[in-house]
Structure 1
Amino acid sequence: MTRINFIELPARDLGAARTFYSTVFGWKLTDFGPSYSCTTNGDVDLGLQGDATEAPGAPLPVVLVDDIEAAVTAVEAAGGRISKPIFSFPGGRRFHFLDPNGLELAIMQSA
């Protein structure tokens, strides 16, 4: 299955962001460590990254794939540039890349 499954947002004040999205939309957010919180509804989820060293500079679409190594090969073959090599995180592995217009996206494979 290949689909956008997360949109990550930078959250300098994670507590304020959690409160805002919970209040406005009624979303339940789950914490994964002290600097990351996300919805886990199984549709397109929202991730809030509070760690300034890890937070994207803009909304970051995250695409779910079945084979992350094949995705790296496809991105590079199509002219994309890997901006963050494959790394593990709670829930799986992922990498970041820049498309031909310089937009950053991520691809993940669930654990």
Structure 2
Amino acid sequence: MARLNYLELPVQDLPKARSFYADAFAWTFTDFGPSYSATMTGDTDIGLQGDPAETTAALLPVIQVDDLDAALARVEAAGGTITLPIFSFPGGRRFHFRDPAGHELAAMQPAA
């Protein structure tokens, strides 16, 4: 199974962005350090990345997969380019890649 389960937004002012989405949509955020907040609904969640060293140039769609290593192999075999190798984060592991059209996405496998 693979499904879009997360969208990471690069933000310059994390408190302001968090406040906007909380006020506009009544979303509740969990903070993961001083530069990252995310909704934790279990559906398609939103992450706010406020660390300039970690932000992507555009929105980062994240695809949940059952087997991250197999997904990485399939992405490479299909012509994708790995832009950030597999790494761990609170909640699982993921990697970033560019599709042949140049769009950056990520694939993630939740922690067991």
- Paired with 1:77 and 1:90, the residues of 2 have a C-alpha distance of 28
User: Match of 1:27?
Assistant: 27
User: Match of 1:59?
Assistant: 59
Structure 1 moving runs of 4+ over 3 Å: none
User: Match of 1:72?
Assistant: 72
Alignment of 1:106 onto 2:106: yes
- Paired with 2:29 and 2:47, the residues of 1 have a C-alpha distance of 9
Shift of 1:11: 1.1
- Structure 2, unaligned stretches of length 5 or more? none
User: Match of 1:97?
Assistant: 97
User: Match of 1:83?
Assistant: 83
**TM-score normalised according to structure 2 size:** 0.97
Percentage of matched positions with identical amino acids: 63
Look up the SS of the partner of 1:84 in the other structure.
strand
**TM-score normalised according to structure 1 size:** 0.98
Look up the SS of the partner of 1:15 in the other structure.
helix
- Paired with 1:13 and 1:86, the residues of 2 have a C-alpha distance of 27
- Structure 1, unaligned stretches of length 5 or more? none
- Paired with 1:92 and 1:47, the residues of 2 have a C-alpha distance of 14
- Paired with 1:85 and 1:104, the residues of 2 have a C-alpha distance of 13
User: Match of 1:14?
Assistant: 14
What is the RMSD of the two structures over their aligned residues, measured on CA atoms? 0.6
Deviations 1:46-76 (A, max 9, x none): 0000000101111100000110000001000
- Paired with 1:44 and 1:108, the residues of 2 have a C-alpha distance of 13
